[in-house]
Chain A
Amino acid sequence: MNALTIDSLQFRWPNNTKPVLDLASFALAPGESVLLKGPSGIGKSTLLSAIAGVINIPANAVSVAGTDVGTLSGSARDRFRVDHLGLVFQVFNLLPWLNTLDNVLLPCRFSKRRRDRAGHDPQETARALLTDLGLGDPALMSAPASTLSVGQQQRVAAARALIGAPELILADEPTSALDEATKHQFVELLMRECAQAKAALLFVSHDTGLEQHFDRVVDFRDLNRGASA
């Protein structure tokens, strides 16, 4: 069973005339890592929204870990999202008023599945993850998220996406705010943890320099007929 299967997905924003997404087919094997690149405004973020069940898509178009996202109701999608997906955004991923550790544990608060898969002590798992990501300092773990540097914040966000081993990690340009060295370090860490959690990774980035890290690189223009039309 694939981590992600897309089959003839069309999506149009309500106020637009032509569809922003028009994909024939696309799939991610379990544990596979893919870099999705493409120019700005082409619909990459929209695709991630479709996969995450944030926008309304037709049935039988997107299936994540064997579940057809298009058939789920609103609140079922919210539950589904936390159960099976980890998300990392470009910036501001964290609740500034929670400490690092609690930010990482957020998915476990909302999902029993993630809690169960995070080992018998999710706190311990979260600490281990943070330590793996170079944030092992206890002072950092109990510091409010707002006091972390941007690079640290992105790593915390990665830990949050990974905790409880969801099937698929969606990352929308998580490195764009990082400098060159930190960028590579971040991607390497993310890849390593994904492999450990056996999570597939769909990583959106303009940055061609990162291609070397991934199993596969996909240009969104080749994938999306809506954008090229």
Chain B
Amino acid sequence: MISLGIQSLWNRRFVVLLTVFSIALSVALILGVERLRSQARLAFANSASGIDLIVAPRGNDVQILMATVFGVGSTGSGLNWDTFEYVSDLPQTAWAVPIMMGDNHRGYPVIGTSTAYFEHFRHSNGQELRFASGHAFENAHDAVIGAEIAAEFGYALGTEIINAHGSGSVAFHQHDEAPFSISGVLAPTGTAVDRMVLISLDGFDALHQDEAPVQSDPFEALGSEAARSAPTSDHDHAEHDEHAQDTHEGHAEADHDEHEHDAREDHDEADHDAHAHDTHEEHSDADHSKHEHDAHKDHTKADHDDHADHAHEEHEPEPEQINAIYVGLKSASGILGVQRALNETAPEPLSAVMPNVALLQLWSITGTAEGALRIMAAAVAVAGMVGMVVMLSAALESRRREFAILRSVGATPGTIFGLIVLEAVLVTLGGLALGLALLTIGALVADPVLSANFGFRMGAALSLPREGLLILAVFCFGFLASLLPALRVYRMTLADGLTMRL
């Protein structure tokens, strides 16, 4: 019976293959959307577990989360060390870990932090970070790398690595003069940490000396709240200034004085650093962020290279700035108190982000797109199934003779009904198998990209039970759809008997 079905399908292989392919596409799409969604959520939730709050310069919660935990984009401006001390000293705080960002190693984010990071960071339902080999960094030249980096580049303990400026994989400026030696390799966590290079605050600072880490990020437009209001993505200097001018005229802020404006408009690259520097020193803490904000609008890639090239040694290192603080609380109920304190008495405007809440926000943003994708995937699936019903139904008329022959050798109308259902089931199974194959290939192709940019992968493995349910649903749908032509053929064979209408 099964071989009859297969041979009958083989006879019509062209149409059958097209149908199988259309079902396969829909299966791949449905499962792909689902897997992307669930893997993204899982990876993100795992990466953020164990951190109660993330304190960063005031900004968008989702952006802060993405930047500080996943190394995607960046937080706006930096935080002063005062702020770190302030946050660590809050009565509700159990622990606080400083985070510096903005450099990369061959495209992987470099994070400056303290050894407390290894002590307090938790992932995947509260697991601690483990060292596959080595230990935490002990001095400014040590670096700890995630499992994926170690595997990708074949790094081992003692390997010297050089970090580069900026967060993208395109290196603008190699910190050739400051190599790091790998002191530890972390065990795989399946989270963003696998793709990070962790170095000490001193080590990070040494790289930059007088550059604030944030300002060193030419891609800050991607992530920074402050940068949102300014067209920093323009790397062309002349154009940039024009833009900035426009934007500023639109600004209604009280402390926006003409002087600053002029200074910036006619500043040339040589005096740029002096200017930025002055700005920082002149202003009190209260309007600090405002000015810094203005100042770093001027920083473009062009500025930087210049800056790094001739202006470096002339300046004293600025007060150390960090980008964010991971905070663990003594009790979960402390969150409200901390948030109030940060809003009311903090030395600079801050956001305290609860990772889980920010994730929910993120999912609600992506939810609409997910919904649309799912509807599309479902529509493609329906189209695939309709295609199958059309294929089976269209063949019925021309196969009447076949059915009569089968009946003459003892096939009951039920047998022929079964044959049609079997054919549909085979086509659906073929579609499912091919769809899974397509999905696996797709995952293999997409994973490096996903992993490099977003820190998670789709994975080639089938993740039950959700995907299993979807597969089952497609299968049942295919089975049910086949009943339509099968019932028709049943009635037809009953009426036809053995007579052969030609």
Interface residues of A (CB under 8 A from B): 45, 49, 52, 54-55, 74-75, 78-79, 81-83, 87, 89, 91-98, 102, 106-107, 109-111, 160
CB-CB < 8 A to B500: which residues of A? Answer: 89, 92
**A160-B408 Cα distance, complex, nearest whole Å:** 11
The answer to whether A95 touches B412 (Cβ under 8 A) is: no
Write out the residue numbers on chain A whose beta carbons fall within 8 Å of the beta carbon of B372: none
Contact B497 A55 (CB under 8 A): yes
Contact between B401 and A92 (Cβ–Cβ < 8 Å)? Answer: yes
- For A102, the chain B residues whose CB sits under 8 A away are 7
CA distance A93 to B415 in the complex (A): 19
20 contacts between A and B (CB under 8 A): A45-B499, A49-B498, A52-B408, A52-B498, A54-B407, A54-B497, A54-B498, A75-B412, A78-B412, A87-B409, A87-B498, A89-B408, A95-B8, A95-B406, A97-B7, A98-B4, A107-B409, A109-B409, A110-B411, A111-B410
| Cβ-defined contact, B497 with A49, below 8 A | yes
Is B134 interfacial (CB-CB < 8 Å)?
no
By beta carbon, the residue of chain B nearest A54 is: B497
Min C-beta distance of A217 to chain B, whole Å: 24
Given A74-B412, A75-B412, do A94 and B405 touch, yes or no (CB 8 Å)?
A: yes
| Residue B344 interfacial (CB < 8 Å) | no
Residues of B within 8 A of A (CB): 1, 4, 7-8, 10-11, 401-402, 405-415, 497-500, 502
Asked if A95 contacts B498 (CB within 8 A), the reply is: no
| In contact, B499 and A95 (Cβ under 8 angstroms) | no
Nearest first, the 10 A-B pairs at minimum CB distance are: A82-B410, A97-B11, A110-B410, A54-B497, A78-B412, A106-B409, A87-B408, A75-B412, A107-B409, A54-B498
A83 adjacent to B410 (CB under 8 Å)? yes
What is the CA–CA distance of A103 and B497 in the complex, to the nearest angstrom?
19
User: Which A residues touch B401, using CB under 8 A?
Assistant: 92
Q: Closest A residue to B401 by CB, please name it.
A: A92
User: A78 near B410 (CB under 8 angstroms)?
Assistant: yes
Cβ-closest chain B residue relative to A102: B7
User: For residue A94, which residue of chain B has the nearest CB?
Assistant: B405
Cβ-defined partner of B408 (8 Å) among A55, A79, A81, A96: A81
Query: Are the CB atoms of B497 and A82 closer together than 8 Å?
Result: no
Which residue of A83, A87, A95, A160 contacts B402 across the interface (Cβ within 8 Å)? Answer: A95
**Complex interface: chain B residues within 8 A of A52 (CB):** 408, 498
With a cutoff of 8 Å between Cβ atoms, the chain A residues found around residue B502 in the complex are 91-92
List, in ascending order, chain A residues with CB within 8 A of B402's CB: 95-96
Nearest chain B CB to A176's CB is how many angstroms away?
13
Q: From residue A116, how far is it (CB to closest CB) to chain B in Å?
A: 14
B494 nearest in chain A by CB position: A74
Chain B residue numbers with a CB within 8 Å of A49 are 497-499
Sample of 10 further A-B pairs with CB below 8 A, known A55-B497, A94-B405, A95-B402: A49-B497, A49-B498, A52-B498, A54-B499, A74-B412, A96-B11, A97-B10, A102-B7, A106-B406, A110-B411
Q: Which residue of B lies closest to A88 (CB)?
A: B408
Whole-angstrom distance between the alpha carbons of A162 and B283 in the complex? 107
CB distance from B25 to the nearest CB of A (A): 27
Name the residue on B nearest A99 (C-beta): B7
Residues of chain A within 8 A of B1, CB atoms compared: 109
State whether A110 and B409 are in contact (beta carbons under 8 Å apart), knowing that A92-B401, A92-B500, A92-B502 are contacts in the complex: yes
Within the complex, the shortest CB–CB distance from B494 to chain A, in Å, comes to: 8
A98–B7 CB distance below 8 A: yes
Max count, chain A CB within 10 A of own CB: residue among B401, B406, B410, B497: B410
CB of A7 to closest CB in B, whole Å: 23
Nearest CB on A from B112, distance (A): 70
Nearest Cβ on chain A to B17's Cβ, whole angstroms? 15
